[in-house]
Amino acid sequence: MATERTLSIIKPDATKRNLTGKINAKFEEAGLRIIAQKRIHLTKAQAGTFYAVHAERPFYDELCEFMASGPVVVQVLEGESAIAKNREVMGATNPADAAQGTIRAEFAESVGENSVHGSDAPETAAVEIAYFFSGLELVG
């Protein structure tokens, strides 16, 4: 197992309901260290660039609107197999399918407004971290 870094976003539905602390506790309890974190309000265009891989999906416009609808907390999580571990803690995309105890099972409102984002592979993690953070902001 290797130490990895992954990009996490606490989405607008969760910041609106003041869930940042509860979600961060889930990451820390799973052994993930928050080595960078900031609260920002994305424009729709910035959200669109971040989610460009989904540009052809029917929910793309709705997703970009949602991600720009309120503040988000962007963060870098570090730990052993952090990418897979974070996705395990997040749970399935659709909260109806998410395992008990996961963030999405406990907090997500729908398949779209599902409280968190997490990178899905080392290559995407590197690109997504660089989209929001400079090297100096990552304090491991």
Mark the segment that binds ligand ADP (CB under 6 A) among 27-35, 41-49, 106-114, 123-131: 106-114
Q: Which is nearer to ligand ADP, 65 or 137 (CB)?
A: 65
C-alpha distance from residue 95 to each of 27, 34, 48, 73 (Å): 18, 24, 23, 20
Is 114 annotated in a binding site? The answer is yes
Closest CA to 115 of 67, 77, 78: 67
111 interacts with ligand ADP by CB under 6 A: yes
Is 59 annotated in a binding site? The answer is yes
What DSSP character marks residue 3? Answer: E
Instruction: List the structure tokens of 103.
Output: 């963030």
Among 46, 69, 93, 124, binds ligand ADP (CB under 6 A): 93
Among 84, 112, 124, 126, binds ligand ADP (CB under 6 A): 112
Whether residue 41 lies in the annotated active site: no
